[in-house]
Amino acid sequence: MFYYDPVCGRKVNRNKAYARVEYESETYYLCCPKCQAEFEKEPEKHIKKGKHKKHRHH
């Protein structure tokens, strides 16, 4: 199964992902230490960029 790295947008194989980060009860897979660091720094930014979810905060 594939997931999308929220930072670089690359497809990541769940079993081969460099890191798994849980944020707000969702799990994200990162391809490399760089992406992991980026994601942990500003998770919101990357989640919003990479996903097209229809929920907005008012």
Which residues of this protein are in contact with Zn ion, per CB under 5 A? Answer: 5, 7-8, 31, 35
Cβ-based nearer residue to Zn ion, 49 or 56: 49
Question: Token match 């929220």: residue?
Answer: 6
Cβ-based nearer residue to Zn ion, 28 or 31: 31
Least distance (Å) between residue 32 CB and Zn ion: 5
Judge whether 14 and 3 are in contact, CB under 8 Å: yes
Cβ-based nearer residue to Zn ion, 48 or 56: 48
